[in-house]
Amino acid sequence: MNINYPYLLFVGDATDSLSIKMARSAADWSPEKCLAEYRLPGCSVTTGCPSMNIQEAAKAGAKSFVLGFANSGGFLDSSWIPTILEAMDAGMDIVSGLHDKLTDIPVLQQKADELNLQLIDIRHPVTRFRTGTGKKRLGNRLLTVGTDCSVGKMYTSLSLTKEIQGRQLPATFRATGQSGILVSGTGVAIDCVIADFISGAAETISPENSADHWDIIEGQGSLSHPAFAGVSLGLLHGSQPDALVVCHALGRQHMRGLTHQALPSIEQTIALNLAAAQLTNPQARVVGIAVNTSSVDADSALQICKEISQQTGLPCSDPIRHGVTSIVDNLL
SS3 112: helix
What distance in Å separates the CA atoms of residue 325 and residue 122, rounded to the nearest whole number?
32
Is 26 in contact with 37 (CB distance < 8 Å)? no
The confidence score (pLDDT) of residue 73 equals 67
Taking the alpha carbons at both ends of the chain, their separation in whole angstroms is 33
For the residues of 216-245, what is the DSSP string, one character each? EEPP-S-TT-TTTHHHHHHHHHHH--SEEE
Encode the chain (332 residues) as per-residue pLDDT tens digits. Answer: 678 999 999 999 999 887 898 999 999 999 999 999 999 999 999 999 999 999 999 999 999 999 998 766 678 889 999 999 999 999 999 999 898 999 999 999 999 999 999 999 998 888 889 999 999 999 999 999 999 999 999 999 999 999 999 999 999 999 999 899 999 888 999 988 999 999 999 999 999 999 999 999 999 999 999 999 999 999 999 999 999 999 999 999 999 989 999 999 999 999 999 999 999 999 999 999 999 999 999 999 999 999 999 999 999 999 999 999 999 999 99
Q: Which residues contact 298 (CB under 8 A, 6 or more apart)?
A: 321
What distance in Å separates the CA atoms of residue 149 and residue 153, rounded to the nearest whole number?
8
Which amino acid appears at position 226 of this protein? P
Quick one: which H or E segment has residue 93? strand 93-96
CATH homologous superfamily for the domain 7-121: NAD(P)-binding Rossmann-like Domain (3.40.50.720)
Closest-CA residue to 159 (of 178, 147, 146, 142)? 142
Query: How is domain 140-331 classified at the CATH fold level?
Result: Rossmann fold (3.40.50)
Which amino acid appears at position 264 of this protein? P
Which amino acid appears at position 180 of this protein? G
Quick one: which H or E segment has residue 273? helix 266-277
Quick one: which H or E segment has residue 326? helix 325-331
What distance in Å separates the CA atoms of residue 203 and residue 199, rounded to the nearest whole number?
6
Residue ranges matching CATH 3.40.50.720 in the chain:
7-121
What are 79-135's pLDDT values in tens digits? 999 999 999 999 999 999 898 999 999 999 999 999 999 999 998 888 889 999 999
- Report the predicted TM-score, pTM, of the whole model to 2 decimal places: 0.89
> Considering all CA atoms of the chain, what is the largest pairwise distance in Å, rounded to the nearest integer?
61
Please list, residue by residue across 303-331, b when 16 or more beta carbons sit within 10 angstroms of its beta carbon and e when fewer do: ebbeebbeebebbbbbbbebebebbbeeb
